[in-house]
A and B are shown apart, each in its own frame.
Chain A
Amino acid sequence: MIKIVKQLLKPFMPQFFKDLRNGYIQIRKRNPSMSKLDVLRYGKVVRVSRKMNYIDDYVRQFSKICQLIGIAMDEEFIYPFDKMVMRMYERTNICSITVDFGVVIDSDLNNIRSLLHKCQNSSFRNRELQVIDTIESLAIKICNELSAYKNIRAKELSEYFPVMLFRKPESFDEALQKILFYNALFWQMGHSHIGLGRLDVILEDYYEKDLSEGVLTENSAKEKLKSFVRLIGKDTEPKSMSIKGDTGQYILLGGIDKTGKNVHNRLTDLFLEIFTELKFPDPKLILRVNDFTSDILWSKAIECIVTGIGSPLIMNDPPIMANMSKFGYDASDVWNVGTSACWEPLIIGKSFDQNNPFSSAVPIQSLNKVILSGKNYLSFNDLYGEFKEEYRKELESVVKYLNFDCSPLFTLFFDECIAREKDFTVGGAIYAYHGTQVLSLPNTINALLNIKSLVYDKKLFTLIDCKRAIEDNFVGMDDFHTLLINTEKKFGSIDKEVLELTNDLIYFTSNVVKQLKYNGRPVKVGFSSPSYIYLAKNVKASLDGRKYGEPFAVHISPISSKIDISEILDFSSKLIYNDNCINGNVVDFILPSSYIKQPEKLVGILKSACSKGVFELQLNVMDKATLIDAKAHPENYPNLVVRVWGFSAYFNDLPDDYKDNLIRRAELYETA
Chain B
Amino acid sequence: MKQLRITNIQRGCVYDGPGVRTTVFLKGCTLHCPWCCNPETLSYEKDKYIDDEKCMLFQGKQSHLCKQCERNHGIRTIDDCPFGVVEETSKDYDVEELLEILLNDSLLFKETKGGVTFSGGEPLLQAEVLSPLLIKLKEKGIHIALETTLVSPAINLKHIIPYADYFIVDFKFQPQMNLFNLTYLSTINKLYNLLKCKDVTNRMVFVDEMESYKDLIVSSLNNLGVSNLELIACHSLGEKKYIKLKMPITKVEASTNKLESFRDYLNRSGIEVFLLTI
Contact = CB atoms under 8 A, between A and B. Distances in A.
B14 A458 contact: no
Interface string A486-511: 10000000000000000000000000
B65 A479 contact: yes
Contacts of B114: 601, 604
A460 interface: yes
Interface in B106-122: 107-108, 111-112, 114
Contacts, number: 65
A608 B14 CA distance: 15
B14 A601 contact: yes
B63 A566 contact: no
Given A482-B56, A483-B83, A566-B11, A608 B61 contact: no
Interface in A30-62: none
Contact of A567 (B11, B83, B108, B112): B11
B105 interface: yes
Contacts of A605: 12, 20, 108, 112
B19 interface: yes
Interface string A598-619: 1001011101100110000000
A595 B19 CA distance: 11
Contact of B105 (A486, A565, A566, A597): A566
Interface in A347-362: none
A36 to B, nearest CB: 52
Contacts of A611: 107, 111
A235 interface: no
A601 B63 contact: no
Interface string A332-347: 0000000000000000
A594 interface: yes
Contacts of B83: 479, 482-483, 486
Which of A478, A486, A566, A595 has the most chain B CB atoms closer than 10 A to its own CB?
A566
B88 to A, nearest CB: 13
Interface string B266-278: 0000000000011
Interface residues of A, number: 24
A405 interface: no
B104 interface: yes
A415 interface: no
B84 interface: yes
B65 A564 contact: no
A478 B112 contact: no
A566 B107 CA distance: 12
Interface string A454-496: 0000101000000000000000001100110010000000000
Contacts of A567: 11
A102 to B, nearest CB: 33
B82 interface: yes
B108 A564 contact: no
B82 A458 contact: yes
B20 A479 contact: no
Given A458-B82, A478-B56, A483-B83, A608 B107 contact: yes
A598 B13 CA distance: 11
A76 interface: no
Main secondary structure of the interface of B (DSSP, over half): loop
A460 B82 contact: yes
A416 B105 CA distance: 47
B65 A604 contact: no
Contacts of A603: 112
B82 A478 contact: no
A19 interface: no
Nearest to B10: A564
Contacts of A460: 65, 82
Contact of A604 (B19, B104, B278): B19
Nearest to A606: B111
A612 B107 contact: yes
A603 B14 CA distance: 12
B180 interface: no
A564 B108 CA distance: 15
Interface in B1-52: 11-12, 14-15, 19-20
B14 A594 contact: yes
B56 A601 contact: no
Given A604-B111, A604-B114, A479 B63 contact: yes
Interface string A430-452: 00000000000000000000000
Contacts of A565: 12
Given A478-B63, A601-B14, A604-B112, A483 B105 contact: no
Interface string B208-221: 00000000000000
A208 interface: no
Contacts of B11: 564, 566-567
A483 B54 CA distance: 10
B81 to A, nearest CB: 11
Interface in B225-278: 277-278
A612 B56 CA distance: 42
Interface string B75-107: 000000011100000000000000000001101
A623 interface: no
Interface of A: 458, 460, 478-479, 482-483, 486, 564-567, 570, 594-595, 597-598, 601, 603-605, 607-608, 611-612
23 contacts: A478-B56, A478-B63, A479-B65, A483-B82, A564-B11, A564-B12, A565-B12, A566-B108, A594-B15, A594-B278, A597-B14, A601-B19, A601-B20, A601-B114, A603-B112, A604-B20, A604-B108, A604-B114, A605-B12, A605-B108, A605-B112, A608-B108, A608-B111
